[in-house]
Structure 1
Amino acid sequence: MTPTTAPASLRRRRRANGLLGLVAWLCGIAFFLPVAWMVLTSLHSEQDAATNPPSLTAPLTLHGYREFFGAGGGGLSPWPPLVNSLTASVLSTLLVLLLAVPAAYALSIRPVRKWSDVLFFFLSTKMLPLVAGLLPVYLVAQNTGLLDDIWLLVVLYTSMNLPIAVWMMRSFLAEVPVEMLEAASLDGAGLATTLLRIVGPVALPGIAATALISFLFSWNELLFARVLTGVVAGTSPVFLTGFVTSQGLFLAKVCAAATVISLPVLAAGFAAQDKLVQGLSLGAVK
């Protein structure tokens, strides 16, 4: 490359990088705008929120949040559904990690026979539409007395998130250096010690990414929670549907409720953002 062509190629590369950066910013803003609009609407009164077109200069108020925490959902408290969602999401995520890490270890670091068939079997369980399994699950829960029971949701969310967790963890554990495992084996480390002290710290970003995905899917699940729960084990998405009444849709209060219900997921994502980026980038070409 001659000295005259080097600056030209460098300028073209910079322009291309600048264009890609601009596209990335535009995509990020496009994804963020609905969330910002929801938060802004939650700070308006019902009258201002219902105007068409919506007013950006309307006075701000916390009336929607007071309605949500005071007498939201027809006079019901939002705290039991939030606690139920947190319980089901956290417990199912812990169970998913407890089962997915050893399974992924067996499929990547210590591969079993026909491991590709095993992975395909895990993936095939996600091909069935959730609504197709709703009636059998309902009948089983009814006959076992588990309707409106939070432990039923824990088991269901664990089984629903386990296949994708095994797939994710396998790709993450495949990046663990084999030399570290061989050294641990020479030192007499057992399976539990290897998983906790060797594999765990190295694959921590991948574990964090898998945990966040599982928590997100569990927190946002509505279909099974809507059908299989009632008053006792209802989750926050089910509680959110209670704001759609025969009197109409109170937009400001719905946006306030949606904002509050979204906060735990946003907080978890913000707390684990560095590990999430590292985990999702494992296996990439460096």
Structure 2
Amino acid sequence: MSRAGAGEAPPLQRKARRRSAALGLLAWLTGIVFFLPVAWMVLTSLHSESDAATNPPSVAASLTLDGYREFFGAEGGASPWPALINSMTASVVSTALVLLLALPAAYALSIRPVRKWTDVLFFFLSTKMLPVVAGLLPVYLFAKNTGLLDNVWLLVILYTSMNLPIAVWMMQSFLAEVPVAVIEAAQIDGARLPVVLSRVVAPIAAPGIAATALICFIFSWNEMLFARVLTGVIAQTAPVFLTGFITSQGLFLAKVCAASVVISLPVLAAGFAAQDKLVQGLSLGAVK
């Protein structure tokens, strides 16, 4: 055996290692690029308003928690807790309703497919083609005539209807991976549809359900257009509360960044809590 063959890796292996190192470096650079705005927001939230308003911003300025104190109303401002509770109520309840409705629909379109099920999926997708702002006026008039303006339950209904098509599309692909033999065995044992869905299908498709729930929660939590137009004071959500820091006196950058950090925490917490199932769910069905 030659010295090159004994001490060095084959050319193809060296090429694969270089390619893997290049892809790893690219992944790190991409992650840093996406993380930099978040890190800058957190750093700005820890500065005073005078330091945050300098141009260019002062990175080495002294740190303070004044922005967070003002956000939570320590300086006599409005309390953010009602808005945070409204956002949590609308997001959690609508996500639960979406999962409750999407699971049987996805079951019918994947495991027990209905006739022309692809047309049904396209119909669900077509409901997302209309721009949200195009339906704003009819929804506003309906809410006004029915007395539902400034009502958090109207947001629950809207968020459920907005996220349901996406949930059905996602869960249909997830449930298609459930073994039919397991479902047939449960049905032979006498299990009815509710039992099959809750005790057989749901545990197997748990990663996909978790991924769907997280995406629906994020969409509901971040929605601002309907919440801005249809709510006032009682049902105000966190994104709408955030816009209140942009006043005629100017933009209080440190306070806005502090509010943005706090409002982002529930989404980050949900993502970390479902991290393992989210990765499994998003990769489910990718490898045959």
* TM bucket normalised to smaller: over 0.9
CA RMSD of aligned residues (A): 1.6
State which of 219, 225, 228 in structure 1 corresponds to 2:227: 225
Could you say what secondary structure the match of 1:104 adopts?
Answer: helix
Q: In the alignment, residue 224 of structure 2 is paired with which amino acid? A: L
Give me the whole-angstrom Cα distance separating, in 1, the residues matched to 2:208 and 2:265: 23
Cα deviation for residue 191 of structure 1 reads 0.5
Q: Which runs of 5+ in 2 are unaligned?
A: none
Whether 1:66 and 2:66 are equivalent positions in the alignment is no
Query: Which position in structure 2 is the counterpart of 1:14?
Result: 17
Cα deviation for residue 149 of structure 1 reads 0.3
Query: Which position in structure 2 is the counterpart of 1:34?
Result: 37
Q: Deviations over 1:59-91 (max 9, x none)?
A: 10000000100258x821100000000000000
Query: Which position in structure 1 is the counterpart of 2:26?
Result: 23
Q: In the alignment, residue 135 of structure 2 is paired with which amino acid? A: G
Q: Which range is displaced more, 53-62 or 223-232?
A: 53-62
Q: Which runs of 5+ in 1 are unaligned?
A: none
Whether 1:93 and 2:95 are equivalent positions in the alignment is yes
Q: In the alignment, residue 172 of structure 2 is paired with which amino acid? A: R
Query: Which position in structure 2 is the counterpart of 1:148?
Result: 150
Cα deviation for residue 54 of structure 1 reads 1.0
Q: Deviations over 1:8-52 (max 9, x none)?
A: 111111111111111111111111111110000000000110111
Cα deviation for residue 3 of structure 1 reads 9.4
Query: Which position in structure 1 is the counterpart of 2:252?
Result: 250
**What TM-score, normalized to structure 1?**
0.96
Give me the whole-angstrom Cα distance separating, in 1, the residues matched to 2:7 and 2:116: 56
State which of 45, 56, 59 in structure 2 corresponds to 1:56: 59
Cα deviation for residue 55 of structure 1 reads 1.3
**What TM-score, normalized to structure 2?**
0.96
Q: Does the 8 Å CA contact 2:71/2:77 hold for their aligned counterparts?
A: no
State which of 146, 161, 164 in structure 2 corresponds to 1:162: 164
Give me the whole-angstrom Cα distance separating, in 1, the residues matched to 2:121 and 2:17: 42
Give me the whole-angstrom Cα distance separating, in 1, the residues matched to 2:10 and 2:204: 41
Query: Which position in structure 1 is the counterpart of 2:115?
Result: 113
Query: Which position in structure 2 is the counterpart of 1:283?
Result: 285
